[in-house]
Amino acid sequence: MAPAHLDVVCRPTNGKTPRKHWHESGWSRSLLTFRVLMYSLAIISLVLYTFCDSAFFPICYLPRFWLAGHCNGLAELLSPGVNSTTCPQWTALHPTKYRGLSEDLDVAYNSEDFKQRAIQALGDAVRVPTESYDDNGPVGEDSRWDTFAELHRVLEASFPRIYKSLNVTKVNTYGLIFHWQGSTSAKPYILTAHQDVVPVEEQTIEEWKHDPYSGYYDGTWIWGRGTCDDKGDLIRQLLAIDSLLKQGFSPARTLILSYGFDEESKGIEGAGHLARYLEETYGRDSFALLLDEGDLYTDTGGIVFATPSTSEKGYLDVKITVSTLGGHSSVPPSHTSIGLLSRFIAAVEDNPHQASLSRRGTPFATTQCLAAYDPAYPEDLRKLARKAVADDAALKVLQERLLASDPLYKAVLGTTQAVDLIEGGVKVNALPERANAVVNHRIAEHSSVAELQQHMIDLLTPLATKYDLALVAFGSNVTRGGAGEVVLSDFLGTALEPSPVTPTGYGPWALLQGSIKAAFESSPTRNSSKVVVVPSLSIGNTDTQFYWNLTKHIFRFSPSFDTDRFNGEHTVNEGKRCSVTLFSLLMQFPKLAFRADSMNEGVRFYTKFILNVDESDLP
């Protein structure tokens, strides 16, 4: 479709046709000269526009600027209803067997009664301050976990029907598993969320118009810590299940709810134990799919994108410890352990990891989707993205252009590093025997913990040798030395590989897409507008890191708009529209309040998703 458009609108004619009306007047001669000039300029521009992809040649800008304005269809901007080979879209999937049930519930969810009930249930959950601290001790030893018992009482009071009808198991005291037995032996599936919230810091208290644990409803917003992350998801899942129970629905496929309670710290006490319990009880790879919290709907100005994450970056904190012989500062060596450590740090910072846009990676898939469907995507990038599907040179240029467009792309396309901690020296007149620093890494989807470790070994070995230090890296002796040693280690033992990438070609992904579209397109507030569903890479980590053994179909998606999350003066992202990226950092902003209307929108999504999975033939 694009080439036809190009023919009609943008290709300059070559001057063959209108010959017959020439008059040899001075006026027409100058007109002819003018036309020849214009045609030549147009042809040169088109040639440059087509073959000139580098941002570094200023001559490329002019034709781009000139032609891009006229040729908006040039590189296949698709309307959201159209399928594409580079970003496959399935149509909305409405329950068929349970069509009537689904429609009845759509009506119920729009009632004022339901809205009030949803506000009440979320408010009640938010009023229990289930804060999770980085330094929490194990459950049973640290009494700060006790608030979770109160949350359990609140949930039971809000959802007596669920507690009566489903089997509830507590794992490691505060982990919650709800088991809803299906009538068939089809593989069960899991919805997850977390019960804990980020502690409220004293100095942020004045940002809160209403107490962070008030759960106050002001007519638009429900206020409080956890409304957005992640009690909103948890309560909306329970509301969907409660409504289905009330209608007498009983599932064909077993549904499991798994709710951890320390996602905001390490996740080990909650999801860590829950995952082990699920693997022991149901077996490895025994679930059809898993849906956790994650990325949202974003309205990029006309087109709405939903961006479930299909992978997460990995993680490694490397501690660099330099030990030298001590001594007195009055007779110092040329380099103390602090001086040596600074050289290692400089080497690390001077050799950042190379970003890479690979056709097999998730960021490439996201880029293709934005290029195909986002009207605000820069035209030259749209064209480049299309070309990059098969053309290696174009892929390289696209990578450079994306990296130049937004610093976020460095994080999306590569392993990042940040020297975040440093320690050393005890006294101004004593040589420091030991100094250390910790480098935080988020590992690219295409890399691994081992590759990162090797990068550091390769980088630091020559320096260790130069200063006659023994290098011990991650448990092995790399080089010997007489002047001391430098040790590389996993700081808190929290190494995490990049997650497996969820397949997006078929089955569960198509079903998730279809359910998102069905919920969105049937929203009373969305006027039947369409949504494009795009796989994305998450640059942070969720509880899903513990669930890899249970299924390869792991999705991270919260059925809310970015604008449903209130963040003080402005809603998150307000005023910062960046069409080139949708890899949002939403999860990292403090959120103060959640839009009440988003409650029923989300419940509608979970309901349709549950019904669709239930009647599907997913293996």
Q: Is 76 a residue that touches Zn ion (CB under 5 A)?
A: no
- In the complex with Zn ion, which residue's Cβ is closer, 543 or 601? 543
Of ligand NAG, Zn ion, none, which one does residue 91 interact with (CB within 5 to 8 Å by kind)? ligand NAG
- In the complex with ligand NAG, which residue's Cβ is closer, 165 or 358? 165
- In the complex with ligand NAG, which residue's Cβ is closer, 279 or 406? 279
Residue nearest to Zn ion (CB): 230
Which of 196, 295, 312, 601 is the catalytic position?
A: 196
Binding residues for ligand NAG (CB under 6 A): 83, 85, 88-91, 165-167, 179-181, 275-276, 279, 476-477, 525-527, 546, 549
- In the complex with ligand NAG, which residue's Cβ is closer, 298 or 416? 298
> Which residues lie below 8 Å from residue 455, measured CB to CB, with a gap of 6+?
353
Q: Is 104 flagged in the annotation as binding?
A: no
Of ligand NAG, Zn ion, none, which one does residue 180 interact with (CB within 5 to 8 Å by kind)? ligand NAG
Report in angstroms how near the CB of residue 477 gets to Zn ion at its nearest. Answer: 41
- Looking at the DSSP bridge assignments, the partners of residue 484 are 324
- Identify the residue whose tokens are 């979970």: 606
Dihedrals φ, ψ of 567, to 5°?
Answer: -130, 65
Q: Is 229 a residue that touches Zn ion (CB under 5 A)?
A: yes
In the window 267-296, what residues touch Zn ion (CB under 5 A)?
293
Judged by CB under 5 A, the number of residues near Zn ion is 3
Report in angstroms how near the CB of residue 441 gets to ligand NAG at its nearest. Answer: 20
- Give kind and range of the element (H or E) at residue 169: strand 167-171
CB 399 within 8 A of CB 413: yes
CB 254 within 8 A of CB 287: no
- Identify the residue whose tokens are 């022991």: 280
Compute the distance between CA of residue 444 and CA of residue 410 in angstroms, rounded to an integer: 10
CB 273 within 8 A of CB 171: yes
Of ligand NAG, Zn ion, none, which one does residue 230 interact with (CB within 5 to 8 Å by kind)? Zn ion
Angle subtended at Cα 246 by Cα 610 and Cα 253, rounded to the nearest 5 degrees:
30
Of ligand NAG, Zn ion, none, which one does residue 53 interact with (CB within 5 to 8 Å by kind)? none
Query: 3-state DSSP call for residue 594?
Result: strand
CB 256 within 8 A of CB 189: yes
Task: Please give the radius of gyration of the chain, using alpha carbons only, rounded to the nearest integer.
Answer: 29
Of ligand NAG, Zn ion, none, which one does residue 196 interact with (CB within 5 to 8 Å by kind)? none
Compute the distance between CA of residue 553 and CA of residue 309 in angstroms, rounded to an integer: 11
Compute the distance between CA of residue 440 and CA of residue 421 in angstroms, rounded to an integer: 9
Report in angstroms how near the CB of residue 424 gets to ligand NAG at its nearest. Answer: 23
Compute the distance between CA of residue 164 and CA of residue 40 in angstroms, rounded to an integer: 79
Listed as own residue / partner, the contacts of 65-70 with beta carbons closer than 8 Å and 24 or more positions apart are: 67/10, 68/379, 68/380, 70/9, 70/10
Task: Measure Cα distances from 472 to 343, 347, 496 in Å.
Answer: 17, 17, 21
x-or-dash string of contact with Zn ion, 177-216, rule CB under 5 A: ----------------------------------------
Residue nearest to ligand NAG (CB): 181
| CA-based nearest residue to 512, from 368, 390, 618 | 618
- In the complex with ligand NAG, which residue's Cβ is closer, 273 or 608? 273
Report in angstroms how near the CB of residue 557 gets to Zn ion at its nearest. Answer: 12
- Give kind and range of the element (H or E) at residue 120: helix 112-126
- In the complex with Zn ion, which residue's Cβ is closer, 76 or 229? 229
Report in angstroms how near the CB of residue 90 gets to ligand NAG at its nearest. Answer: 5
Of ligand NAG, Zn ion, none, which one does residue 229 interact with (CB within 5 to 8 Å by kind)? Zn ion
Which of 242, 263, 295, 445 is the catalytic position?
A: 263
- Identify residue 410 by its one-letter amino acid code: K
Of Zn ion, ligand NAG, none, which one does residue 83 interact with (CB within 5 to 8 Å by kind)? ligand NAG
Report in angstroms how near the CB of residue 226 gets to Zn ion at its nearest. Answer: 9
Q: For residue 196, indicate whether it is catalytic.
A: yes
- In the complex with ligand NAG, which residue's Cβ is closer, 156 or 420? 156
CB 220 within 8 A of CB 563: no
Q: Is 230 a residue that touches Zn ion (CB under 5 A)?
A: yes
- In the complex with ligand NAG, which residue's Cβ is closer, 225 or 273? 273
Of ligand NAG, Zn ion, none, which one does residue 167 interact with (CB within 5 to 8 Å by kind)? ligand NAG
Query: 3-state DSSP call for residue 421?
Result: strand
Q: Is 570 flagged in the annotation as binding?
A: yes
Half-sphere exposure of 225 (CA within 13 A, CB side): 22
Q: For residue 156, indicate whether it is catalytic.
A: no
Q: Is 194 flagged in the annotation as binding?
A: yes
- Give kind and range of the element (H or E) at residue 311: strand 309-312
Report in angstroms how near the CB of residue 230 gets to ligand NAG at its nearest. Answer: 20
Report in angstroms how near the CB of residue 391 gets to ligand NAG at its nearest. Answer: 20
> What are 178's two structure tokens?
């709800």
Q: Is 292 flagged in the annotation as binding?
A: yes
Compute the distance between CA of residue 586 and CA of residue 572 in angstroms, rounded to an integer: 7
Tell me what percent of the chain is helix, strand and coil, each rounded to the nearest 5. Answer: 40, 20, 40
Q: Is 229 flagged in the annotation as binding?
A: yes
For the annotated catalytic residues, the residue numbers are 196, 263
Site residues (vs Zn ion, CB under 5 A): 229-230, 293
Q: Which residues are annotated as a binding site for Zn(2+)?
A: 194, 229, 264, 292, 570
Q: Which residues are annotated as a binding site?
A: 194, 229, 264, 292, 570
